[in-house]
Structure 1
Amino acid sequence: MAKIVGYFIGSLFVALLLLAPIGGMIYFMHDSLSALENVVKDQAIVEKCISKRSSTGKVNARGVPVAMTDTGVKVEGSIGQPKFLFQCKDMIGSSVPVLIHQSDKARHRINTYWQMWFLPTIFSIFSLIWYPALYKGYQKKKNKKKNL
C-alpha cells in the first residue's frame, strides 16, 4: 500500500512539474487580457505604496503602488515593485496610465509593464525554454535506450 501511495505522490509531483509553467502562463495571460475588456483608459497619480496581506495577515507583496485619478477613482497595483530596479516610493507623485473597468472596481489595473505584463512574460519565457528542454531530454533518453 505504501508503494502505491508513493507512486501516486511521485506522479502528482511530475505532473505538477510538467504543467505548472503552462498553467501559470495561461492564468496570468488570461488575467491581463481580461483586464482589457470593458475599460476606460485614464491617467492617475501614484499617491502611496502599500503592503498587500493575505487573510492570515502575512505580507504577500511589499511596495504595491496605489494611484488616484482626477475623478477620484482609486487603483491598486497587483504586485510589488522590485527593489533592485526602482522602489515604489520613487513612483509617488508620478503619473501612470490606468485601466478603469466599467462595472467591477476590483478589475481596475495600473497599466504599466511591471503591473500588467511582467508575470505573463516570465511564465511564457520559462515555458518556451522548459518544454523544448524536456522534449530534447526525452529524445536523448529514447535514443540511448534504442542504442542499447
Structure 2
Amino acid sequence: MIAKVLGYSIGALFIVILLAPIPLSIWFIVDRISLLTSATPARAIIEECYRHRRSGTNAKVSWGPVAVTVEGLKVKGDFKWSKKKWCESTIGDEVTVLLHPTDKNKHRIHTFFQFWFLPLVMTLICIVFYPLSYRAKKRKDAEKKAVEESKE
C-alpha cells in the first residue's frame, strides 16, 4: 500500500515538473506584455554587477547586472550569469529600462537576455519539445504493437 502511494506521488511530481513550462511561459508572456503596455521607458547604463546566492546546501553564486538611470534609479536584471566575467562584460552598456508606474519590483532591463530570453526558452519548450515527445511516444507505441502482432 505504501509503495503504491509513493509511486503515485512520484508520478504526480514528475507530471507537474514535466508540465511546469506551460504555465511559466504563459506567465512570462502576460508579464512582459503588461509591462510593455504600462511601463515608462528610460535610458540607463549598466554600472555594476550584483551577487546573488541561492540558499541551501548546494549554494551557488550568480551575477546580475545593475542599470542606473539618469535620475539615479537602480534596476536589477532578472537573468543572472554563473560567471562574474560574463556579467562584467556588460558594464558600460547603454540600455533601456522599463519603469513600472506603481511597483518598483517590476522594473526591468529591456535587453534580449534580461527581458526575452527566459520567456522564449519556456515557449520553445512548449512548442517544440512537447510535440516531439508526443510523436516519439506514438512511434514507440506503433513499433511495440507491430512487434506484438508479428509474434502472433
- TM-score range (shorter-chain normalised) is 0.7 to 0.9
Kept in 2: contact 1:81–1:114 (CA 8 A): no
Which residue in the other structure is 2:75 paired with? Answer: 75
Deviation for aligned residue 1:20: 2.2
Let me know the Cα RMSD of the aligned residues.
Answer: 2.7
Q: Distance in 2 between matches of 1:59 and 1:43?
A: 34
Question: Aligned equivalents of 1:49 and 1:121: distance in 2?
Answer: 24
Deviations 1:90-137 (CA, angstroms, capped at 9, x unpaired): 222221111011111111100000001101111122222221122213
What does 1:52-71 align with in structure 2 at a 5 Å threshold?
52-54=52-54, 62-71=62-71
Q: Secondary structure at the match of 2:75?
A: strand
Distance in 2 of aligned mates of 1:43 and 1:81:
23
Query: Structure 1 residue 130 and structure 2 residue 124: aligned?
Result: no
SS class of match (1:102): coil
Normalized against structure 1, the TM-score is what?
0.81
Deviation at 1:48, TM superposition (A): 0.7
> Does the 8 Å contact 2:64/2:87 carry over to 1?
yes
- 2:54 touches 2:61 (CA, 8 Å); kept in 1? no
Q: How does 1:77-116 map to 2 (within 5 A)?
A: 77-81=77-81, 83=83, 87-116=86-115
Identify the range of structure 1 (64-73 vs 13-22) with the bigger mean alpha-carbon deviation: 13-22
How many residue pairs end up in the alignment? 146
Structure 1 position 22, deviation (Å): 1.7
Please, which runs of 5 or more residues in structure 2 have no aligned partner?
none
- 1:41 is matched with which residue? 41
Any gaps of 5 or more consecutive residues in structure 1? none
Query: In the alignment, which residue of structure 2 is the partner of 1:7?
Result: 7
Where relative contact order (Cα < 8 A, 6+ residues apart) is larger, the structure is 1
Structure 2 counterpart SS, 1:28: helix
Pick the structure with more helix per residue: 2
Q: Tell which structure's C-alpha radius of gyration is larger.
A: 2
After TM superposition, give the deviation of residue 81 of structure 1 in Å: 3.7
Query: Quick one: distance in 2 between partners of 1:111 and 1:35?
Result: 10
CA distance in 1, matches of 2:82, 2:97: 19
Identity among equivalent pairs (%): 35
Distance 1:133 1:13, change over 3 A: farther
